[in-house]
Structure 1
Amino acid sequence: MQTNNLPTDELKKYGIVEPDNSFSKKLSAEDIQKFLQGYTIVADNEKNRATFQLVENNSRLNVVFLERDKNISSILAESKERIEYSEIKDLSKGNNQLDFEKKAFVFDKETNKVIEFDLIKNALELTAIIADKKDISELNRYKTELLKLKGFLQDKIDQYPEIAKEITNDLNIVSKEINTVNSISQLNPKQEKSDIELNVNDPDLYQDANREHEAEMKEEENREKSRGFRR
Protein backbone atom coordinates (compact mmCIF):
# COMPACT_ATOMS: atom_id res chain seq x y z
CA MET A 1 0.00 0.00 0.00
CA GLN A 2 1.51 3.30 -1.13
CA THR A 3 1.10 6.33 1.14
CA ASN A 4 4.07 8.48 0.16
CA ASN A 5 2.66 9.51 -3.22
CA LEU A 6 -0.82 10.58 -2.14
CA PRO A 7 -2.41 13.46 -4.10
CA THR A 8 -2.32 15.63 -0.98
CA ASP A 9 -3.45 18.87 -2.61
CA GLU A 10 -6.61 17.26 -3.97
CA LEU A 11 -7.30 15.50 -0.70
CA LYS A 12 -7.05 18.84 1.09
CA LYS A 13 -9.31 20.48 -1.50
CA TYR A 14 -12.14 18.10 -0.61
CA GLY A 15 -11.51 18.13 3.15
CA ILE A 16 -10.26 14.54 3.35
CA VAL A 17 -6.87 15.75 4.58
CA GLU A 18 -6.36 18.70 6.96
CA PRO A 19 -3.91 21.59 6.32
CA ASP A 20 -1.40 19.91 8.65
CA ASN A 21 -1.49 16.80 6.39
CA SER A 22 -3.46 14.70 8.89
CA PHE A 23 -6.64 12.96 7.81
CA SER A 24 -9.97 14.59 8.64
CA LYS A 25 -11.28 13.96 12.15
CA LYS A 26 -14.57 12.91 10.52
CA LEU A 27 -12.85 9.72 9.34
CA SER A 28 -12.19 6.87 11.74
CA ALA A 29 -8.93 4.90 11.71
CA GLU A 30 -10.82 2.09 9.99
CA ASP A 31 -12.21 4.50 7.36
CA ILE A 32 -8.71 5.77 6.59
CA GLN A 33 -7.25 2.28 6.35
CA LYS A 34 -9.97 1.16 3.96
CA PHE A 35 -9.64 4.34 1.89
CA LEU A 36 -5.91 3.67 1.46
CA GLN A 37 -6.76 0.13 0.37
CA GLY A 38 -9.00 1.34 -2.44
CA TYR A 39 -12.39 1.64 -0.74
CA THR A 40 -14.64 4.56 -1.68
CA ILE A 41 -15.56 7.47 0.59
CA VAL A 42 -19.13 8.65 0.04
CA ALA A 43 -20.30 12.14 0.99
CA ASP A 44 -24.03 12.97 0.84
CA ASN A 45 -25.58 16.43 1.03
CA GLU A 46 -29.32 16.51 0.39
CA LYS A 47 -29.71 15.67 -3.34
CA ASN A 48 -25.99 15.75 -4.05
CA ARG A 49 -23.49 12.91 -3.62
CA ALA A 50 -19.73 12.79 -4.18
CA THR A 51 -17.54 9.70 -4.11
CA PHE A 52 -13.77 9.67 -3.60
CA GLN A 53 -11.44 6.79 -4.41
CA LEU A 54 -7.66 6.52 -4.62
CA VAL A 55 -6.49 4.90 -7.86
CA GLU A 56 -3.25 4.26 -9.75
CA ASN A 57 -1.37 2.98 -6.71
CA ASN A 58 -2.86 5.75 -4.53
CA SER A 59 -1.31 8.48 -6.70
CA ARG A 60 -4.57 9.89 -8.09
CA LEU A 61 -7.93 10.79 -6.54
CA ASN A 62 -10.95 9.75 -8.58
CA VAL A 63 -13.90 12.05 -7.80
CA VAL A 64 -17.43 11.38 -9.06
CA PHE A 65 -20.36 13.75 -8.61
CA LEU A 66 -23.89 12.39 -8.59
CA GLU A 67 -27.39 13.81 -8.20
CA ARG A 68 -30.30 12.09 -6.48
CA ASP A 69 -34.00 12.60 -7.17
CA LYS A 70 -34.76 13.03 -3.44
CA ASN A 71 -33.08 14.63 -0.44
CA ILE A 72 -31.06 12.13 1.57
CA SER A 73 -32.55 13.47 4.83
CA SER A 74 -36.06 12.69 3.58
CA ILE A 75 -35.02 9.22 2.40
CA LEU A 76 -33.46 8.31 5.74
CA ALA A 77 -36.47 9.55 7.70
CA GLU A 78 -39.08 7.81 5.54
CA SER A 79 -37.12 4.55 5.30
CA LYS A 80 -37.89 3.90 8.97
CA GLU A 81 -41.54 3.43 7.99
CA ARG A 82 -41.08 1.55 4.71
CA ILE A 83 -38.41 0.78 2.13
CA GLU A 84 -37.54 3.92 0.20
CA TYR A 85 -36.39 3.98 -3.43
CA SER A 86 -34.30 6.64 -5.08
CA GLU A 87 -32.75 7.26 -8.48
CA ILE A 88 -29.25 8.64 -8.79
CA LYS A 89 -27.54 10.06 -11.87
CA ASP A 90 -23.80 10.22 -12.52
CA LEU A 91 -23.17 13.77 -13.71
CA SER A 92 -19.69 12.92 -14.96
CA LYS A 93 -20.81 10.38 -17.57
CA GLY A 94 -21.76 11.12 -21.14
CA ASN A 95 -24.91 10.02 -22.92
CA ASN A 96 -23.25 6.90 -24.31
CA GLN A 97 -22.69 5.40 -20.85
CA LEU A 98 -24.92 4.01 -18.12
CA ASP A 99 -25.37 7.10 -15.96
CA PHE A 100 -28.37 5.97 -13.92
CA GLU A 101 -28.71 3.81 -10.79
CA LYS A 102 -31.70 2.87 -8.69
CA LYS A 103 -31.21 2.41 -4.94
CA ALA A 104 -33.26 0.93 -2.12
CA PHE A 105 -32.92 2.13 1.47
CA VAL A 106 -33.76 -0.47 4.11
CA PHE A 107 -33.96 0.27 7.83
CA ASP A 108 -32.24 -2.40 9.94
CA LYS A 109 -33.95 -2.49 13.34
CA GLU A 110 -31.15 -4.53 14.91
CA THR A 111 -28.43 -1.96 14.17
CA ASN A 112 -30.76 1.07 13.98
CA LYS A 113 -29.12 1.98 10.67
CA VAL A 114 -30.37 2.53 7.14
CA ILE A 115 -28.61 0.34 4.58
CA GLU A 116 -28.38 1.27 0.91
CA PHE A 117 -28.78 -1.41 -1.77
CA ASP A 118 -28.38 -1.20 -5.52
CA LEU A 119 -31.26 -2.87 -7.38
CA ILE A 120 -28.79 -4.45 -9.82
CA LYS A 121 -25.53 -4.96 -7.92
CA ASN A 122 -27.29 -6.22 -4.75
CA ALA A 123 -30.27 -7.82 -6.50
CA LEU A 124 -30.26 -11.29 -4.90
CA GLU A 125 -29.66 -9.98 -1.39
CA LEU A 126 -32.28 -7.25 -1.70
CA THR A 127 -34.94 -9.65 -3.00
CA ALA A 128 -34.28 -12.00 -0.09
CA ILE A 129 -34.57 -9.16 2.44
CA ILE A 130 -37.82 -7.86 0.97
CA ALA A 131 -39.31 -11.37 0.77
CA ASP A 132 -38.45 -11.86 4.43
CA LYS A 133 -40.28 -8.64 5.36
CA LYS A 134 -43.50 -10.71 5.27
CA ASP A 135 -45.31 -7.77 3.68
CA ILE A 136 -47.00 -8.21 0.30
CA SER A 137 -47.30 -4.44 -0.18
CA GLU A 138 -43.51 -4.09 0.08
CA LEU A 139 -43.11 -6.94 -2.39
CA ASN A 140 -45.45 -5.21 -4.85
CA ARG A 141 -43.68 -1.86 -4.44
CA TYR A 142 -40.38 -3.60 -5.13
CA LYS A 143 -41.81 -5.18 -8.29
CA THR A 144 -43.02 -1.76 -9.47
CA GLU A 145 -39.52 -0.33 -9.07
CA LEU A 146 -37.99 -3.30 -10.91
CA LEU A 147 -40.44 -2.81 -13.79
CA LYS A 148 -39.52 0.88 -14.00
CA LEU A 149 -35.84 -0.04 -14.09
CA LYS A 150 -36.46 -2.68 -16.76
CA GLY A 151 -38.24 -0.14 -18.94
CA PHE A 152 -35.39 2.34 -18.54
CA LEU A 153 -32.80 -0.27 -19.53
CA GLN A 154 -34.81 -1.36 -22.55
CA ASP A 155 -34.97 2.24 -23.75
CA LYS A 156 -31.20 2.57 -23.25
CA ILE A 157 -30.52 -0.46 -25.46
CA ASP A 158 -32.40 1.19 -28.32
CA GLN A 159 -30.73 4.56 -27.78
CA TYR A 160 -27.15 3.35 -27.30
CA PRO A 161 -26.45 0.11 -29.19
CA GLU A 162 -22.69 0.58 -28.61
CA ILE A 163 -23.15 -0.39 -24.95
CA ALA A 164 -25.97 -2.89 -25.55
CA LYS A 165 -23.93 -5.78 -24.12
CA GLU A 166 -23.46 -4.07 -20.76
CA ILE A 167 -27.09 -2.99 -20.61
CA THR A 168 -28.25 -6.51 -21.51
CA ASN A 169 -26.33 -7.91 -18.54
CA ASP A 170 -28.19 -5.54 -16.20
CA LEU A 171 -31.49 -6.17 -17.93
CA ASN A 172 -31.11 -9.93 -17.43
CA ILE A 173 -30.52 -9.42 -13.70
CA VAL A 174 -33.62 -7.22 -13.34
CA SER A 175 -35.78 -9.63 -15.36
CA LYS A 176 -34.75 -12.56 -13.16
CA GLU A 177 -35.65 -10.66 -10.01
CA ILE A 178 -39.06 -9.82 -11.47
CA ASN A 179 -39.57 -13.53 -12.16
CA THR A 180 -38.60 -14.33 -8.57
CA VAL A 181 -41.08 -11.79 -7.19
CA ASN A 182 -43.79 -13.19 -9.47
CA SER A 183 -43.05 -16.71 -8.22
CA ILE A 184 -43.38 -15.61 -4.60
CA SER A 185 -46.67 -13.84 -5.34
CA GLN A 186 -48.09 -16.84 -7.20
CA LEU A 187 -47.17 -19.18 -4.38
CA ASN A 188 -48.99 -16.94 -1.96
CA PRO A 189 -51.94 -15.40 -3.88
CA LYS A 190 -54.11 -14.74 -0.81
CA GLN A 191 -51.45 -12.90 1.15
CA GLU A 192 -52.77 -9.45 1.98
CA LYS A 193 -51.64 -8.53 5.48
CA SER A 194 -48.11 -7.78 6.60
CA ASP A 195 -48.38 -10.18 9.56
CA ILE A 196 -48.71 -13.29 7.34
CA GLU A 197 -45.47 -15.20 7.74
CA LEU A 198 -42.98 -15.72 4.94
CA ASN A 199 -40.33 -17.61 6.86
CA VAL A 200 -37.21 -18.40 4.86
CA ASN A 201 -36.20 -21.14 7.31
CA ASP A 202 -39.16 -23.39 6.40
CA PRO A 203 -39.74 -25.24 3.10
CA ASP A 204 -41.41 -21.97 2.22
CA LEU A 205 -42.23 -19.49 -0.46
CA TYR A 206 -38.90 -17.72 -0.82
CA GLN A 207 -36.82 -20.93 -0.84
CA ASP A 208 -39.00 -22.37 -3.61
CA ALA A 209 -38.82 -19.20 -5.64
CA ASN A 210 -35.08 -18.81 -5.07
CA ARG A 211 -34.39 -22.36 -6.26
CA GLU A 212 -36.33 -21.59 -9.43
CA HIS A 213 -34.40 -18.34 -9.76
CA GLU A 214 -31.01 -20.08 -9.42
CA ALA A 215 -32.01 -22.68 -12.00
CA GLU A 216 -32.96 -19.88 -14.42
CA MET A 217 -29.60 -18.19 -13.83
CA LYS A 218 -27.68 -21.41 -14.58
CA GLU A 219 -29.75 -22.00 -17.70
CA GLU A 220 -29.08 -18.44 -18.88
CA GLU A 221 -25.34 -18.82 -18.21
CA ASN A 222 -25.25 -22.03 -20.25
CA ARG A 223 -27.03 -20.30 -23.12
CA GLU A 224 -24.58 -17.41 -22.96
CA LYS A 225 -21.56 -19.71 -22.96
CA SER A 226 -22.92 -21.67 -25.91
CA ARG A 227 -22.99 -18.48 -27.99
CA GLY A 228 -19.59 -17.28 -26.77
CA PHE A 229 -20.98 -14.58 -24.50
CA ARG A 230 -19.30 -13.78 -21.18
CA ARG A 231 -20.88 -11.79 -18.38
Structure 2
Amino acid sequence: MNEQLPTSDLKEYGIMSEDNTFSKKLSNKDIENFLKGHAMIADNGKDRLIFLLTDNNTRLNVNIYQRDKTIDEIVKQGQKEIVYSQLNELTNSKSIDIEKKAFIYDQKTQQVTEFDLLKDTEKIAQVVAEKKDIQESNRFKNELLKLKGYLQDKIDKFPEIGKEITNNLNIVSKTISTIDDATPNESQSQKQQQSKLRLDVNDDDLYQDANRHREEQQEQEQQRHRGFRR
Protein backbone atom coordinates (compact mmCIF):
# COMPACT_ATOMS: atom_id res chain seq x y z
CA MET A 1 0.00 0.00 0.00
CA ASN A 2 2.92 2.35 0.75
CA GLU A 3 3.98 2.06 -2.90
CA GLN A 4 0.89 4.03 -3.96
CA LEU A 5 1.30 6.73 -1.35
CA PRO A 6 2.78 10.13 -2.30
CA THR A 7 5.86 9.35 -0.23
CA SER A 8 7.86 12.38 -1.38
CA ASP A 9 5.17 14.78 -0.17
CA LEU A 10 4.65 12.85 3.05
CA LYS A 11 8.40 12.99 3.78
CA GLU A 12 8.48 16.72 3.00
CA TYR A 13 6.01 17.38 5.82
CA GLY A 14 7.55 14.88 8.23
CA ILE A 15 4.64 12.45 8.10
CA MET A 16 6.95 9.73 6.77
CA SER A 17 10.61 9.02 7.45
CA GLU A 18 13.34 8.37 4.89
CA ASP A 19 12.91 4.61 5.30
CA ASN A 20 9.29 4.95 4.08
CA THR A 21 7.79 4.31 7.51
CA PHE A 22 5.41 6.69 9.22
CA SER A 23 6.74 9.09 11.82
CA LYS A 24 7.09 7.63 15.30
CA LYS A 25 5.18 10.66 16.61
CA LEU A 26 2.04 9.16 15.07
CA SER A 27 0.07 6.44 16.81
CA ASN A 28 -1.20 3.37 14.98
CA LYS A 29 -4.71 4.83 15.28
CA ASP A 30 -3.56 8.12 13.71
CA ILE A 31 -2.04 6.26 10.76
CA GLU A 32 -5.04 3.98 10.34
CA ASN A 33 -7.49 6.90 10.28
CA PHE A 34 -5.26 8.86 7.90
CA LEU A 35 -5.14 5.98 5.42
CA LYS A 36 -8.92 5.64 5.65
CA GLY A 37 -9.40 9.22 4.49
CA HIS A 38 -9.52 11.13 7.76
CA ALA A 39 -7.74 14.47 7.99
CA MET A 40 -4.50 14.78 9.92
CA ILE A 41 -3.97 18.07 11.77
CA ALA A 42 -0.62 19.56 12.77
CA ASP A 43 -0.40 22.72 14.91
CA ASN A 44 2.79 24.72 15.27
CA GLY A 45 2.73 28.19 16.80
CA LYS A 46 0.13 30.19 14.87
CA ASP A 47 0.13 27.78 11.93
CA ARG A 48 -2.18 24.85 11.32
CA LEU A 49 -1.71 22.36 8.48
CA ILE A 50 -4.44 19.91 7.53
CA PHE A 51 -3.36 16.88 5.49
CA LEU A 52 -5.75 14.67 3.52
CA LEU A 53 -5.06 11.74 1.19
CA THR A 54 -7.18 11.73 -1.99
CA ASP A 55 -7.41 9.83 -5.30
CA ASN A 56 -7.15 6.40 -3.64
CA ASN A 57 -4.36 7.61 -1.36
CA THR A 58 -2.12 8.61 -4.27
CA ARG A 59 -2.28 12.36 -3.71
CA LEU A 60 -1.72 14.55 -0.64
CA ASN A 61 -3.85 17.67 -0.19
CA VAL A 62 -2.45 20.27 2.18
CA ASN A 63 -4.53 23.16 3.51
CA ILE A 64 -2.65 25.86 5.38
CA TYR A 65 -4.26 28.07 8.03
CA GLN A 66 -2.95 30.80 10.27
CA ARG A 67 -4.56 31.79 13.56
CA ASP A 68 -4.36 35.06 15.47
CA LYS A 69 -2.88 33.43 18.59
CA THR A 70 -0.31 30.74 19.21
CA ILE A 71 -1.32 27.43 20.77
CA ASP A 72 0.69 28.27 23.91
CA GLU A 73 -1.12 31.60 24.28
CA ILE A 74 -4.49 29.92 23.86
CA VAL A 75 -3.78 27.22 26.46
CA LYS A 76 -2.52 29.78 28.99
CA GLN A 77 -5.44 32.18 28.49
CA GLY A 78 -7.92 29.32 28.25
CA GLN A 79 -7.38 28.40 31.90
CA LYS A 80 -8.89 31.77 32.87
CA GLU A 81 -11.68 32.27 30.32
CA ILE A 82 -13.14 31.04 27.05
CA VAL A 83 -10.73 31.92 24.24
CA TYR A 84 -11.92 32.74 20.73
CA SER A 85 -9.52 32.42 17.81
CA GLN A 86 -9.94 32.61 14.06
CA LEU A 87 -8.06 30.52 11.51
CA ASN A 88 -7.56 32.19 8.14
CA GLU A 89 -7.13 29.73 5.29
CA LEU A 90 -4.22 30.69 3.05
CA THR A 91 -4.78 28.08 0.33
CA ASN A 92 -8.42 28.51 -0.72
CA SER A 93 -10.14 31.89 -0.73
CA LYS A 94 -13.53 30.31 -1.50
CA SER A 95 -13.56 28.01 1.49
CA ILE A 96 -16.83 28.14 3.44
CA ASP A 97 -15.53 26.05 6.31
CA ILE A 98 -15.30 28.96 8.75
CA GLU A 99 -12.42 28.20 11.07
CA LYS A 100 -13.63 30.19 14.05
CA LYS A 101 -12.80 28.35 17.24
CA ALA A 102 -13.64 28.49 20.92
CA PHE A 103 -11.22 27.00 23.44
CA ILE A 104 -12.76 25.95 26.76
CA TYR A 105 -10.96 24.73 29.87
CA ASP A 106 -12.32 21.54 31.42
CA GLN A 107 -11.83 21.48 35.19
CA LYS A 108 -12.18 17.68 35.35
CA THR A 109 -9.58 16.80 32.74
CA GLN A 110 -7.57 20.01 33.28
CA GLN A 111 -7.27 20.36 29.51
CA VAL A 112 -8.28 23.05 27.03
CA THR A 113 -10.64 21.65 24.41
CA GLU A 114 -11.17 23.13 20.95
CA PHE A 115 -14.72 23.69 19.64
CA ASP A 116 -15.90 24.96 16.27
CA LEU A 117 -18.08 28.06 16.61
CA LEU A 118 -20.47 26.77 13.92
CA LYS A 119 -20.49 23.00 14.38
CA ASP A 120 -20.39 23.09 18.19
CA THR A 121 -22.37 26.27 18.81
CA GLU A 122 -24.94 24.51 21.03
CA LYS A 123 -22.22 23.02 23.25
CA ILE A 124 -20.49 26.39 23.58
CA ALA A 125 -23.82 28.12 24.32
CA GLN A 126 -24.49 25.59 27.09
CA VAL A 127 -21.09 26.20 28.71
CA VAL A 128 -21.62 29.97 28.51
CA ALA A 129 -25.13 29.67 30.01
CA GLU A 130 -23.81 27.59 32.92
CA LYS A 131 -21.35 30.35 33.79
CA LYS A 132 -24.26 32.79 34.36
CA ASP A 133 -21.95 35.67 33.53
CA ILE A 134 -23.31 38.59 31.49
CA GLN A 135 -19.86 39.61 30.24
CA GLU A 136 -19.10 36.06 29.09
CA SER A 137 -22.46 35.89 27.30
CA ASN A 138 -21.76 39.21 25.60
CA ARG A 139 -18.31 38.01 24.50
CA PHE A 140 -19.88 34.92 22.93
CA LYS A 141 -22.54 37.03 21.24
CA ASN A 142 -19.94 39.45 19.84
CA GLU A 143 -17.98 36.56 18.33
CA LEU A 144 -21.16 35.25 16.71
CA LEU A 145 -21.94 38.71 15.31
CA LYS A 146 -18.46 38.85 13.76
CA LEU A 147 -19.02 35.41 12.27
CA LYS A 148 -22.42 36.48 10.95
CA GLY A 149 -20.88 39.51 9.24
CA TYR A 150 -18.21 37.32 7.68
CA LEU A 151 -20.83 34.90 6.35
CA GLN A 152 -22.91 37.74 4.92
CA ASP A 153 -19.88 39.06 3.04
CA LYS A 154 -19.15 35.54 1.80
CA ILE A 155 -22.65 35.00 0.43
CA ASP A 156 -22.41 38.24 -1.56
CA LYS A 157 -19.06 37.26 -3.07
CA PHE A 158 -19.87 33.62 -3.78
CA PRO A 159 -23.60 33.23 -4.54
CA GLU A 160 -22.96 29.79 -6.06
CA ILE A 161 -22.43 28.40 -2.56
CA GLY A 162 -25.14 30.56 -1.05
CA LYS A 163 -27.34 27.70 0.18
CA GLU A 164 -24.73 26.28 2.53
CA ILE A 165 -23.77 29.73 3.78
CA THR A 166 -27.45 30.52 4.40
CA ASN A 167 -27.75 27.39 6.54
CA ASN A 168 -24.77 28.55 8.59
CA LEU A 169 -26.26 32.03 8.91
CA ASN A 170 -29.47 30.53 10.27
CA ILE A 171 -27.53 28.59 12.90
CA VAL A 172 -25.68 31.73 14.01
CA SER A 173 -28.83 33.90 14.05
CA LYS A 174 -30.74 31.31 16.08
CA THR A 175 -27.95 31.12 18.67
CA ILE A 176 -27.79 34.92 18.96
CA SER A 177 -31.56 35.01 19.60
CA THR A 178 -31.20 32.32 22.26
CA ILE A 179 -28.48 34.35 24.01
CA ASP A 180 -30.63 37.51 23.91
CA ASP A 181 -33.57 35.65 25.46
CA ALA A 182 -31.49 34.04 28.20
CA THR A 183 -29.19 36.92 29.14
CA PRO A 184 -30.30 40.13 30.89
CA ASN A 185 -28.73 43.25 29.41
CA GLU A 186 -26.51 45.63 31.36
CA SER A 187 -29.36 48.03 32.25
CA GLN A 188 -31.48 45.16 33.57
CA SER A 189 -28.55 43.95 35.65
CA GLN A 190 -28.06 47.44 37.10
CA LYS A 191 -31.78 47.68 37.88
CA GLN A 192 -31.59 44.37 39.73
CA GLN A 193 -28.67 45.64 41.81
CA GLN A 194 -30.47 48.96 42.51
CA SER A 195 -33.64 47.12 43.53
CA LYS A 196 -31.63 45.02 45.94
CA LEU A 197 -30.04 48.13 47.43
CA ARG A 198 -33.42 49.87 47.81
CA LEU A 199 -34.83 46.74 49.43
CA ASP A 200 -32.02 46.76 51.99
CA VAL A 201 -32.54 50.45 52.81
CA ASN A 202 -36.33 50.30 53.03
CA ASP A 203 -36.55 47.00 54.89
CA ASP A 204 -38.21 47.85 58.24
CA ASP A 205 -36.77 44.78 59.97
CA LEU A 206 -33.25 45.67 58.91
CA TYR A 207 -33.80 49.30 59.95
CA GLN A 208 -35.19 48.30 63.36
CA ASP A 209 -32.40 45.81 63.93
CA ALA A 210 -29.82 48.49 63.18
CA ASN A 211 -31.50 50.99 65.53
CA ARG A 212 -31.83 48.41 68.30
CA HIS A 213 -28.16 47.48 67.92
CA ARG A 214 -27.21 51.17 68.07
CA GLU A 215 -29.32 51.74 71.22
CA GLU A 216 -27.76 48.71 72.91
CA GLN A 217 -24.28 50.03 72.16
CA GLN A 218 -25.20 53.47 73.60
CA GLU A 219 -26.63 51.89 76.76
CA GLN A 220 -23.50 49.78 77.26
CA GLU A 221 -21.35 52.86 76.75
CA GLN A 222 -23.31 54.79 79.40
CA GLN A 223 -22.96 51.93 81.87
CA ARG A 224 -19.20 51.88 81.34
CA HIS A 225 -19.02 55.64 81.97
CA ARG A 226 -21.05 55.26 85.18
CA GLY A 227 -18.73 52.51 86.30
CA PHE A 228 -15.68 54.75 85.78
CA ARG A 229 -17.27 57.57 87.83
CA ARG A 230 -17.68 55.25 90.77
Matches within 5 A, 1:130-145: 130-145=128-143
Q: 1:184 aligns with which of 182, 185, 196?
A: 182
Higher relative contact order (CA 8 A, sep 6+): 1
The match for 1:156 among 154, 158, 177 is 154
Aligned twin of 1:111: 109
> How many positions carry a matched residue from both structures?
190
Deviations 1:73-101 (A, max 9, x none): 2112101110000111111113x443742
Q: Which has the higher helix share?
A: 2
Q: Which amino acid aligns with 1:75?
A: I
Q: CA deviation at 1:163?
A: 2.7
Runs of 4+ residues over 6 Å off in structure 1: none
1:92 is matched with which residue? 91
Identity of counterpart residues, as a percentage? Answer: 51
Please report how far the alpha carbon of residue 108 of structure 1 lies from its aligned counterpart in structure 2 after TM superposition: 1.5
Contact in 2 for aligned 1:91/1:99 (Cα 8 Å): no
Which runs of 5 or more residues in structure 1 are unaligned? 193-231
Partner of 2:195: none
Matches of 1:108 and 1:38, distance apart in 2: 30
Q: Which of 119, 122, 128 is the aligned partner of 1:121?
A: 119
**Pair 1:73 & 2:72 matched:** yes
Distance 1:129 1:56, change over 3 A: farther
- Give the Cα–Cα distance (whole angstroms) in 2 for the partners of residues 186 and 136 of structure 1: 7
Distance 1:128 1:56, change over 3 A: farther
Computing the radius of gyration from Cα coordinates, the structure with the larger value is 2
Report the equivalent of 1:62. 61
- Assess if the C-alpha contact under 8 Å between 2:134 and 2:184 holds in 1: no
- TM value normalised by structure 1: 0.74
CA RMSD of aligned residues (A): 2.4
Match of 1:24 in 2: 23
Gaps of 5+ in 2: 193-230
